[in-house]
Amino acid sequence: MSVYYPGASCESEVPEHICNPCAEFEKGRVRAAAFIHKDYVATIKAAPDDTVAWQTGIEAKLIRIIPEISGTSNGGEKVSGAGYGDVKEKVTGRNFIVSYKDPNYKDNCNFYTEMEKSRAWYFAYKTETLLHISDKAISIFANNPTSENVEDDVTWNVEATWFQKSPICPVDTPDDIFDCFQLA
């Protein structure tokens, strides 16, 4: 026997769609990336544009910045399951893949080797002006193919992958964090 509960719903409040005819468009390319340790990701997510929070994480070795890269994000490929009633399928999440090339080749073999073994890092990537931070820890695969062309650069080709339920909402990028610099 079925029980019907009038007014019962799983619906949540849907905000208004924002339309700004004067908005500037965000330009593409994954231009920089960061690996954020699981012990520090809540701090960054609480204030993603706080330069001091980023600097503190970098100094504590809980954030690794990868500046000046070239890459792409698939934006999260749909993962779905069975629907019920009149609903054909239900979206259960997204599989994200961010692929990038890191031209800082020679000195980063140990970094990528150890990062492949770890499951303690979240991922953030920067487009032109906005930052996108994963909701889950990631896994990476890094390789270093060499072409026959004597003009081609040898780079680390990196693929970061993870699953999360919702899209990644962009946030403002902190100032001066994704520039190439060395800690003293």
What is the model's pLDDT at position 7? 62
pLDDT digit of tens for each residue in the chain (184 aa)? 666 666 666 778 888 888 888 888 999 999 999 999 999 999 999 999 999 999 999 999 999 999 999 999 999 999 999 999 888 999 999 999 999 999 999 999 999 999 999 999 999 999 999 999 999 999 999 999 999 999 999 999 999 999 999 999 999 999 999 988 665 5
- CA 98 to chain centroid, in Å, comes to 7
Is the distance from CB of 164 to CB of 94 less than 8 angstroms? yes
What is the model's pLDDT at position 3? 65
Query: Which residues are CB-neighbours of 170 under 8 A, at least 6 positions away?
Result: 26, 127, 130, 131, 132
How far apart CA 120 and CA 4 sit, in angstroms, is: 45
How far apart CA 68 and CA 134 sit, in angstroms, is: 20
How far apart CA 21 and CA 184 sit, in angstroms, is: 45
Half-sphere exposure of 81 (CA within 13 A, CB side): 4
Between CA 147 and CA 153, with CA 152 as vertex, the angle to 5 degrees is: 100
Strand, coil or helix: 159: strand
What is the model's pLDDT at position 18? 87
How far apart CA 115 and CA 138 sit, in angstroms, is: 10
Domain ranges of the chain: 32-172
Output the pTM of the full model. Answer: 0.89
- Determine how many CB atoms are found less than 10 A away from the CB of residue 75: 12
